[in-house]
Amino acid sequence: MQVFQGETAISIDDKGRLAIPTAYREVVAGECGNRLVITYNPFEAGCLYVYPQAVWERVRDQVNALPRTKKNSRLLQLKLVGAAAFVEPDGSGRIPVPASQRNAVGIEKKAVLLGMGEKFELWSEQAHHAQIRQTLGDADLGEDLVDLQL
């Protein structure tokens, strides 16, 4: 599977579609079979996850295997699986982002698409800028990251 990486400022058109960056269109068409899944990021506000279908199915199965009687498991199932929407790029490489999801995370005309390994994160421009400012201002990233050679 192709690894997605990089940050792309994108626009959402009047019909709620975003254009997949040109660099990823062949990968989405070939390796992903033009099948993507959009769902909520259950950990951070202002962001949606965009998964290739095969990666999504693995994540979905792991989340659905969690006990439904535990509150955190149930919330994760609601946010990830319950809200998942299958989308396919049109002939111009645009995918529709469901209005309910756009509205819930505050994505309007401008957004940021981040390649995050096996998936993309789609951030509202404001939430992404706030997240970056917070991260850049956070001097202590934790002891577990001390050994990374960045």
Encode pLDDT of 96-122 as tens digits.
999 999 999 999 999 999 999 999 999
Contact yes or no for 106/41 (Cβ under 8 A)? no
Q: How many structural domains are present in the chain?
A: 1
User: What does the pLDDT look like over 46-64, one tens digit per residue?
Assistant: 999 999 999 999 999 999 9
Q: How much is the pLDDT for 139?
A: 57
| Residue-range definition of the domain harbouring residue 24 | 4-136
CATH of the domain at 60: 3.40.1550.20
Tokens of 35: 């099948």
- Do the domain assignments include residue 146? no
Does residue 27 belong to any structural domain of this protein?
yes
Task: Report how far residue 38's alpha carbon sits from residue 56's, in angstroms, rounded to the nearest whole number.
Answer: 9
pTM, two decimal places: 0.88
